Amino acid sequence: MDGAHDMGGVPWSGPVAPEPDEPPFHAEWERRAFAMTLAMGMPGGWNIDMSRFARENRPPADYLSKSYFQIWLAGLEQLMLERQLIAEDEIAAGHALRQAKPVARILTADGVVAMLHRGGPTEREATAPARFAIGERVRAKVIHPPTHTRLPRYVRGHVGTVEMLHGVHVFPDSNAMGSENPQWLYTVTFDGRELWGADGDASVRTSVDAWEPYLEPAA
């Protein structure tokens, strides 16, 4: 979707403000919200693209007014409410008001190391040859799906060069809706002037990782 999360090149941002010796968390609630998000993936059963869509699918003013972990929290609540693992009145009450929905499994302390080590590899077996070759010129399609996509707006319609081929990976646009639909994944590199016109820096090249359905021959 064309949301506020799609920030590449937007003109309203200011200088980057690094914090010296920054800790991983700035408040206790951030620790708990982060850890709950990781732990609830197991009983919740959603995938990473469903999580990303739950975070980004909100009005721009809401997205931009929340801190990063507040966005995670809102996304987590959304995923749990949709699946009726929890209800709004229970959050308000601070206690469970009805029976738990049966879940396949939960993350216990003794499962943490294995869960983190396993991660979530997205590469899958290829069932068809790649359409594009390294060095080939391709155009990022102009698309505006209302659903999840990982093709940022700033490259849409622009021509780049295939620089890497990463094999076949789960396709986020489908995976966010429950179907892996794996596709060839490429690194496509664009010149600064191609992306930003005369305002671009000709000494800069920028790439995105793009699945095959995002691309067409540049011809």
Total of residues contacting another protein (CB under 8 A): 95
**Binders in 158-217 for another protein, by CB under 8 A:** 164, 166, 169-170, 172, 185, 187, 189, 192, 195-196, 200-201, 203-211
Burial 50-87 (b: 16+ CB within 10 A, else e): bbbbbbbbbeeeebeeeeebebbbbbbebbbeeeebbe
Positions in 128-147 near another protein (CB under 8 A): none
Query: Which of helix, strand or coil describes residue 135?
Result: coil
State in angstroms the smallest separation of the CB of 28 from another protein. 8
Residue placing its CB nearer to another protein in the complex, 116 or 219: 116
Query: Any bridge partners for residue 123, and if so which?
Result: 169
Nearer of residues 27 and 133 to another protein, judged by Cβ = 27
Question: Measured from the CB atom, is 148 or 219 closer to another protein?
Answer: 148
CA distance 35 to 41: 10
Closest CA to 71 of 41, 100, 30: 30
In the complex, least distance from residue 196 CB atom to another protein, rounded to whole angstroms: 6
CB of 159 to another protein, least distance (A): 16
Cβ 141 to another protein shortest distance, Å: 14
| Minimum gap (Å) between residue 135 Cβ and another protein | 17
**Collapsed DSSP state (helix, strand, coil) of residue 37:** helix
Q: Which residue in the block uniquely carries the two structure tokens 């010149």? A: 191
198 vs 219 by CB, closer to another protein:
198
Give me the least distance between CB of 179 and another protein, in Å please: 17
Neighbour-count burial of 157, counting CB atoms closer than 10 A to its CB (0-12 exposed, 13-18 middle, 19+ buried) = exposed
183-191 and 215-217 strand pairing: unpaired
Instruction: Give 58 or 169: the residue with its C-beta nearer to another protein.
Output: 169
**Dihedral class, residue 65 (left if φ above 0, else alpha if ψ from -120 to 50, else beta):** alpha
x/- letters, 20..39, toward another protein (CB under 8 A): --xxxxxxxx-xxxxxx-xx
Q: Which of residues 67-96 bind another protein (CB under 8 A)?
A: 68, 70, 73, 76-77, 85-86, 90-96
